[in-house]
Amino acid sequence: MTVSTATGSTMIAASPSAAVASRATATVHRAAPSRRAVVAGLAATLAAPRVLAQVPARVVVVGGGFAGATCARVLARAGLDVTLVEPAMAYTACPMSNAVLAGLRPLAGQVFGYAALRDEGIAIAAQNAAEVDAATRTVRLNDGTVLPFDRAVLAPGIAFRYDAIRGYSAEVANLMPHAWRAGAQTALLQRQLTAMDDGGTVVMSVPANPYRCPPGPYERASLIAWYLKERKPRSKLIILDAKDQFSKQRLFVAAWKQLYGDRLEWVGQSGGGTVTEVLPAERTLVTEFGRFRADVANVIPPQSAASIARDSGAADATGWCPVNPATFESRLLPNVHVIGDAAVMGAMPKSAFAANAQAKVCGEVVAMLLRGETPPPPKLVNTCYSLVAPGYGISVAGVYTPRNGILADVEGAGGTSALDAPASVRAAEAGYADAWFDTIIAETFG
């Protein structure tokens, strides 16, 4: 690793080819009709001296969640020089955090470090990324460090669109937690639920699609309802939803009726469920049709790709990052791939399972592209388990392949658990949910 401070910023592993790449890519930007072909040709030419010198190509991965950490490991195992940009010392996992809210799991059991990744030779830059520059093929960190790359993988996750609900903000989230990024927010919502008197009302606000973990709010509602039934039986939960259809809806609704009855009330978009404003001082959520006073308010705001993706130009007007579904390469930034919740993945939902699955394919694709090979069209799978109660699990699965420029459902595959499945199947799926979490954690962080 060479360090230069000549320009006032630190260059790690600086090499002359970075400057050449910068000029070459700038030229390529004007050659619009065959830009991809030219970029590929130039990349091969530029990569050649590195191959001859047996210097591994450099890949910078931004974000150490299920997508980024998994991808970094796949890339390192392919012999590449991998730097993971992740400011946190440890990752707090969202999957299973709804069980933490209900007191069924400890929050400490959601926290995973990066020691295994370090042991595999992955360099970890414990900083926030300030900008990913596709023209110069560099990632600039908040402390001024500049990391050159041959290819980059953006896996930064989500940001909350605090402006989408009047009165809501990062500060108000300390009174009305979203708990949609696990950690302190999860602990806060759990404390509020624990402190609430019996007879209280919990109100959840759920956004329209797309957002992280489509069935997540309904699993959360289920487990909060279970907690209330067990511990505070005179209490009630109201879900205010900005949509009329949601993931695994028939399974959730049937289970709610059976398990929780009138304790859980869901108000859809056409019933006036869209929350437009919050009044934190009055602990009140305002919808198009009325006001809901909450003893505990859980406001899950609309979301977008994380700010680093938007600030670097990887996101389009929707706030999310469009990608080539065969390679996950950004439609907007050449040599930059986007995976996980930040990307537009067509029919594939924003889930930890999907992020991990995309990361494994993306790692292989990036390694192949850097070797000058053409990756085959991928097939991806998603499986998402939700707990409706302890020992009661349901699932949705899908198989996806590129079609018409997006990741599309493979016809005839996928779907949800059977509506009439016996209790033994619900118990088995709850067990598989636990097992899935342990397995994916081992693959990502273990």
Partner 1 sequence: MNRRVAPVVAAVLLVAMAGSAMAAGALPPGASTCSGCHGASGPVPVLHGRTPDDVAEAMREFREGRRTATVMDRIARGFSEDEARAIAAAVVVPPEERAP
Quick one: which of 41, 144, 377, 391 contacts partner 1 (CB under 8 A)?
377
Q: Read off φ and ψ for residue 411, nearest 5 degrees.
A: -60, 140
Q: Which helix (H) or strand (E) holds 105?
A: none
Q: Which of residues 337-356 bind partner 1 (CB under 8 A)?
A: 353, 356
Q: How far is CA 193 from CA 184, 203, 292, 294, 295, in A?
A: 14, 11, 17, 11, 9
Tokens (6 digits) for 56:
């591994």
CB of 271 to partner 1, least distance (A): 31
Please report, as a single letter, which amino acid is at residue 304.
S
Q: Which is nearer to partner 1, 57 or 367 (CB)?
A: 367
Minimum Å gap between C-beta 250 and partner 1 is: 15
Closest CA to 71 of 160, 182, 183, 156: 156
| DSSP secondary structure letter of residue 8 | S
Shortest Å distance, C-beta 147 to partner 1 = 23
Smallest gap from Cβ 380 to partner 1, in A, equals 6
Closer to partner 1 by Cβ: residue 8 or 412? 412
Burial label, 377 (beta-carbon count in 10 A; 0-12, 13-18, 19+): exposed
Q: Which range in 114-122, 162-170, 281-289, 380-388 contacts partner 1 by CB under 8 A?
A: 380-388
Smallest distance, partner 1 to C-beta of residue 69, A = 14
Choice from 68, 378, 387, 389 touching partner 1 (CB under 8 A) = 378
Tokens of 376: 């085959």
- Least distance between partner 1 and beta carbon 396 (Å): 9
Among 79, 87, 103, 109, binds partner 1 (CB under 8 A): 79
Q: Which of 294, 380, 387, 407 binds partner 1 (CB under 8 A)?
A: 380
Residue pair 417/428 in contact (Cβ under 8 Å)? The answer is: no
Structure tokens at 350: 């924003």
Question: Of 127, 383, 403, 408, which one interacts with partner 1 (CB under 8 A)?
Answer: 383
Note whether 212 binds partner 1 by CB under 8 A: no
How many residues of this chain bind partner 1 (CB under 8 A)?
44
List binders of partner 1 among 92-121 (CB under 8 A): none
Question: Quick check: 392 binds partner 1 (CB under 8 A)?
Answer: no
Total Cβ atoms within 10 A of residue 3: 10
HSE-up of 292 (CA within 13 Å, CB side)?
33
Residue 440 sits in the site that holds partner 1 (CB under 8 A): yes
User: CB of 78: closest distance to partner 1 in angstroms?
Assistant: 5
Q: Which stretch binds partner 1 (CB under 8 A): 8-16, 47-55, 105-113, 408-416?
A: 408-416
Site for partner 1 (CB under 8 A): which residue of 50, 77, 231, 331?
77
Stretch near partner 1 under the rule CB under 8 A, chosen from 250-258, 261-269, 338-346, 414-422:
414-422
Is residue 399 part of the contact set for partner 1 (CB under 8 A)? yes
The whole-angstrom separation of Cα 185 and Cα 172 is: 12
- The Cα 9–Cα 130 span in angstroms is 13
Q: How far is the CB of 327 from partner 1 (least distance, A)?
A: 13
Query: What are the strands of the beta sheet with 264-267, ordered from one edge?
Result: 264-267, 236-241, 201-206, 296-299
Stretch in the footprint of partner 1 (CB under 8 A) among 43-51, 161-169, 233-241, 407-415:
407-415
Nearest to 100 by CA among 195, 184, 203, 202: 184
CB atoms within 10 A of CB 129: 27
330: which DSSP letter?
B
How many angstroms separate the CA atoms of 52 and 38, rounded? 21
Q: Alpha-carbon distance 333 to 324, whole Å?
A: 11
Contact residues toward partner 1 (CB under 8 A) are 77-79, 353, 356-357, 360-361, 364, 367-368, 371, 373, 375-381, 383, 395, 397-399, 401, 410, 412-415, 417, 425, 428-429, 431-432, 435-436, 438-440, 442-443
